[in-house]
Amino acid sequence: MLKYIIKRVLWMIPMLIGISLISFFIMHLAPGDITNNEASFNPKASEESRQKLRELYNLDKPIIVQYGLWLKRMVQLDFGNSFASHQKPVFLGVTDGDSNYTEGMIEAALPITLMINLLGLVITLTLAIPLGILAARKYQLWQDKSITLFNFIGFSIPGFWLSLLLMYWLGVVNNWLPISGLHSLNYDNLDTWGKLTDSISHLVMPVIIPSITGLAGITLFVKNGMLDVLNQDYITTARAKGLSEHKVVYTHALRNALLPLITIIGLSIPGLIGGSVISETIFAIPGMGKLFYDAVLMRDFPVVMGVLTIGSALTLLGNLLADVAYAWADPRVRRGVAKD
């Protein structure tokens, strides 16, 4: 097992280099660079100054040289600094000579996105698993149909539209929840309890709305898995033994039905760290989605590459974890890996 994991981790290195190479070239296929942003389209700003900026960032060099320079820094785990005029470090913060700390861009955005998406995933799973089981047990009955209908409504409603409606209804009309942002303006003056409730109230909409729209897939997955398992011979045997229906469903069927979920969770890891541009923009959340989107529009290459690299590294790690977890949960897989 350990050998298997080490092998997989070592394989990640050439994979990451390949991913970064492709990303780097695709990114440079898009016309324009940092000097073509809207602010510099100003009759007072001279082309000469833009050229100097290009030289500063080595944008005047051939792409392959630029990639080499980037890779050289990456080997030392240096993600570089943003091309934007604040020149913040892309990944981790730094402390300068006067002990002023400058926060890294991904360092600031990743925890926010991760928290929101993890909470969302937990909510989705806690809703989807019982709903899926219920739908499978009451297959073709009104419970099943209601759940399917509800799921498809949630799946079909555009997230931004639902968000705006709920922001209006919950935030403007009733004033129950804050409309946008992560904290109230007086957050720093609140006590611990106040800070907690303030943060939670700001997170309710950004967390719950995407989980509603994401509910459909997982519910369907659990339902189908459960239906498969419930038709197996060993379930019939269990029922024939006279086990209670509760024991049949929750002890024997559920464990097997949930195995594919591990794959689903593994596959959702890129989404967990990627964040959503639309929901982060609407709710004014400074997360990864917005960071990446803005960087692409600005042609802020170090940030684009930083997000892609960290994203792909975490994705590969997530896949590995999912495989390991699968092996741990399913003896059949474990035996296969051991043979390998």
Partner 1 sequence: MNTHMLLIRTQLVRSVLFMTALLISSCLALSACRQQPDPIDYSKAHPGESGSTLISAMAAEPSSLIFMIAGESASAEIASNLFNSLLTYNAQLDIKGELANSWEVSNQQKTITFKLKPNLKWADGKPLTSADVLFTWQLVTDENTRSPYASDFQLVTKAEAPDALTFIATYNQAYAPALDSWSSLHILPKHLLEGQDIRTTNFARNPIGSHYYQLSQWKHGENIKLSRNPYSVLGQANIEQLITRIIPDNSAQFLELMADNIDSMGLDPIKYSRIIPTRPRLQKNLNLYKALGNSYTYLGFNLKHKPFNDIRVRKAINYAIDKQEIIDGVFLGLGINIASPYKPGTRWSNPALKPASFNPSKAKALLKEAGFVDANGDGILERDGKPFAFEIITNQNKEREKSAVIIQRRLKEIGIDVKIRAIEWASFISRFINTGEFDVVILGWGLGLDPDQYSIWHSSQHGPGQFNFLGYNNATVDKLLEQGRTELNPDKRQTIYHAFAEQLLADSPIVYLSAGYGLTAIHKRVQGIANPTPPAGVGYDSQKWFIPKSYRRNQISAH
Q: Please list every residue from 275 through 294 that binds partner 1, using CB under 8 A.
A: 281-286, 290
Q: How many CA atoms lie within 13 A of 157 on its CB side?
A: 21
Q: Does 182 bind partner 1 (CB under 8 A)?
A: yes
Q: Does 240 bind partner 1 (CB under 8 A)?
A: no
Q: Using CA atoms, how far apart are residues 123 and 225, in angstroms rounded to an integer?
A: 20
- Which residue is associated with the tokens 């940092």? 34
Q: Which stretch binds partner 1 (CB under 8 A): 7-15, 100-108, 131-139, 261-269?
A: 100-108
- Three-class DSSP labels, 157-225: CCHHHHHHHHHHHHHHHCCCCCCCCCCCCCHHHCCHHHHHHHHHHHHHHHHHHHHHHHHHHHHHHHHHH
Q: Does 173 bind partner 1 (CB under 8 A)?
A: yes
Q: Does 201 bind partner 1 (CB under 8 A)?
A: no
Taking CB under 8 A as the criterion, the residue among 2, 41, 76, 156 binding partner 1 is: 41
Q: Using CA atoms, how far apart are residues 148 and 153, in angstroms rounded to an integer?
A: 9
Q: Using CA atoms, how far apart are residues 222 and 1, in angstroms rounded to an integer?
A: 29
Q: Does 56 bind partner 1 (CB under 8 A)?
A: yes
Q: Using CA atoms, how far apart are residues 120 and 95, in angstroms rounded to an integer?
A: 34
Residue 112 DSSP SS3: helix
Q: Does 33 bind partner 1 (CB under 8 A)?
A: yes
Q: Does 92 bind partner 1 (CB under 8 A)?
A: no
Q: Please list every residue from 115 through 154 that binds partner 1, using CB under 8 A.
A: 141-142, 145-146, 149-150, 153
Q: Does 175 bind partner 1 (CB under 8 A)?
A: yes
Q: Does 183 bind partner 1 (CB under 8 A)?
A: yes
Residues that bind partner 1 (CB under 8 A): 30-33, 36-53, 56, 81, 84-87, 96, 98, 100, 102-103, 108-109, 141-142, 145-146, 149-150, 153, 164, 167-168, 171-175, 178-185, 188, 281-286, 290, 297-299
